[in-house]
Chains A and B, each alone.
Chain A
Amino acid sequence: MPLEKQFISFYTIVRKGVIRIFRIWSQTLLPPLVTSVLYFAIFGTILGSRIGELDGVPYILFVVPGLVMLSVITSAFMEVASTFFFAKFFSRNIDEVLVSPTPTLVIIAGFITSGIIRGMLVGVLVLIVSFFFALPSVAHPLIVLLFLFLSSLVFSLGGLINGIYAKSFDSITIVPTFVLTPLVYLGGVFYSIHSLPPLWQTLSLANPVFYIINGFRYGFLGTSDVSIFICTAVLLLLTGILLGVNWYFLKKGLGLKQ
């Protein structure tokens, strides 16, 4: 398929995804905003005023990056996982793309771009909401944007694997509940790993979300538990691995072809 046609196919997949995001905005954009308002109010304002400072900044400013990432990660993951699974399992319209000459990589790129768009959009909206509770300073705006993009990318790729592999709707809800949420909560949204016992500090280093939150927090505060380069490298490595897994699954037709 010539490059120009591949782009049209890519655009078609993305356009469809984005229209869906806005059509059902009360399911895709509103819930993370409501949850974030609660988090900012309870953890930031009510509890935060008692906690005082963490790593030299007011507690609410410390948790803002983590709470933004919590919404970004969940939104990007669920966008791709649920859209792909719905198309595969319920409406079966994934066949529309599979019978077409659209190359595997374009299919992957199309689906994850919708996830990235939703993830970044939710991230920006939650950040705007956070301004009503605290005005975070941005030390490195480009790092903020980079981590917003990379985390949306990584979890869109993860969502696609989930969508491809899932055999029932339970499989779609199990991952966010039992994998994503614990990873996010244990990834340092509410605390710095320096406040953990040494064993837990070491275990935290195996959590990819830890690098996402730290990298993103570095963009705001200019400080991080680990080097920004390590955070970026971990995310790039994860992107490569997840992209390879997705490509293999789709090429083999796993969960799609009989």
Chain B
Amino acid sequence: MNEPALTIKNLEKTYASGTQALKGVSLEVPSGDFFALLGPNGAGKTTLIGIVTGLVTKTAGSVSVHGIDIEKEPEWTRALIGLCGQEINFDPWMKPLDVVVNQAGYYGIPRSVAIPRAKKILGDLGLGDKMDQIGFRLSGGMKRRLMIARALIHEPKFLILDEPTAGVDVELRRSMWDYLTALTKQGITILLTTHYLEEAERLASHVAIINKGEIILAGSMEEVLKTHEGGTSGYGGGKLEDIFVKLTSEQT
């Protein structure tokens, strides 16, 4: 049996300010899954992702990626993960091709391998004709796609997407989802956080809802939609959205 892509046990995080961002979170993301991690703003999603990727230090608990502890073998687990963060954070003075090829370099991939691979990924994501344009001149949607390309260049087994489609128009979002869904068919596990719950409902096979640093719901999408009665809010946002609003407002 395959190791889960991500195993989190009793994860806690208290910031220096005293804010308890995660209060004993336990979570399992099956290998090859499209997993949606949902939650309102400030629920702890980005903190959790930060810990998994090594950008935030945990206070307690354990995290394993494909069975490897992130603390004991950080170099191994980092090589398995691709991160597309919430903030646009590439060097704005660099060209997309250089951004992606440099990222490959940090993973020890030689330029002779990285350049054709980067061109292929950028082309697949619709940035083929923008490869040599300076980064800050790209549109918001293009910058997002560049972030995804950068996260994929080292062929990670586990891709983390923290609100990758924020501010992206509908048409582009759909093409991005098609591309990402195709990746899961190649065996890549995707952990997604998004505020577009309808899309999460359609794409993800498993879901977890986090609120105030605690997981308040986790399971397969089918199971969650079947067992939780959300009622119809009349907003037409889909069943998952109703469940989400109901559960998070109950906690409030």
Binding site for B on A (CB under 8 A): 1-2, 4-6, 8-9, 11-13, 15-16, 20, 23, 87, 91-93, 95-103, 253, 257-258
Contacts and interface: CB of A to CB of B under 8 A. Distances in A.
Interface string B38-57: 00000000000010011111
Contacts, number: 83
B83 interface: yes
Contacts of B76: 101
Given A253-B57, A257-B56, A100 B106 contact: yes
Interface stretch (B26-34, B89-97, B116-124, B226-234): B89-97
B91 A257 contact: no
Nearest to B87: A92
30 contacts: A1-B108, A2-B108, A4-B108, A5-B109, A8-B108, A8-B109, A9-B107, A13-B106, A16-B102, A91-B89, A91-B90, A91-B91, A92-B87, A93-B91, A96-B89, A96-B90, A99-B54, A99-B78, A99-B81, A100-B106, A100-B107, A101-B74, A101-B75, A101-B107, A103-B75, A257-B57, A258-B15, A258-B16, A258-B56, A258-B57
Decide if the interface of chain B is mainly helix, strand, loop or mixed: loop
Contacts of B50: 258
Interface residues of B, number: 31
Given A12-B102, A92-B87, A258-B50, A99 B55 contact: yes
A96 B76 CA distance: 16
Given A2-B108, A95-B55, A258-B15, A100 B89 contact: no
B157 interface: no
Contact of A96 (B56, B93, B103, B110): B103
B212 interface: no
Q: Report which residue of B93, B102, B109, B110 has the largest number of chain A beta carbons within 10 angstroms of its beta carbon.
A: B102
Nearest to A106: B106
A77 to B, nearest CB: 21
A106 B192 CA distance: 31
B149 to A, nearest CB: 13
Contacts of A95: 55, 83, 85, 89
Contacts of B90: 91, 93, 96
Nearest to B78: A101
Interface string B144-170: 000000100000000000000000000
Contacts of B237: none
B108 A6 contact: yes
Q: Report which residue of B87, B91, B93 has the largest number of chain A beta carbons within 10 angstroms of its beta carbon.
A: B91
B105 interface: yes
A6 B79 CA distance: 13
A8 B89 contact: no
Contacts of B150: 96
A15 B98 CA distance: 11
A2 B89 CA distance: 27
A253 B57 CA distance: 8
Given A92-B87, A103-B75, A97 B108 contact: no
B108 A9 contact: yes
Contacts of A253: 57
Given A1-B108, A100-B79, 18 more contacts: A1-B75, A2-B108, A4-B108, A5-B107, A8-B109, A91-B92, A92-B87, A92-B89, A93-B89, A93-B90, A95-B89, A99-B81, A99-B83, A101-B78, A101-B107, A253-B57, A257-B56, A258-B57
Nearest to A20: B93
The 4 tightest CB contacts between A and B, nearest first, are: A5-B108, A12-B105, A100-B106, A92-B89
A128 to B, nearest CB: 29
Q: Report which residue of A12, A102, A253 has the largest number of chain B beta carbons within 10 angstroms of its beta carbon.
A: A12
A257 B150 CA distance: 21
Contacts of B85: 95
B103 A101 contact: no
B79 A8 contact: no
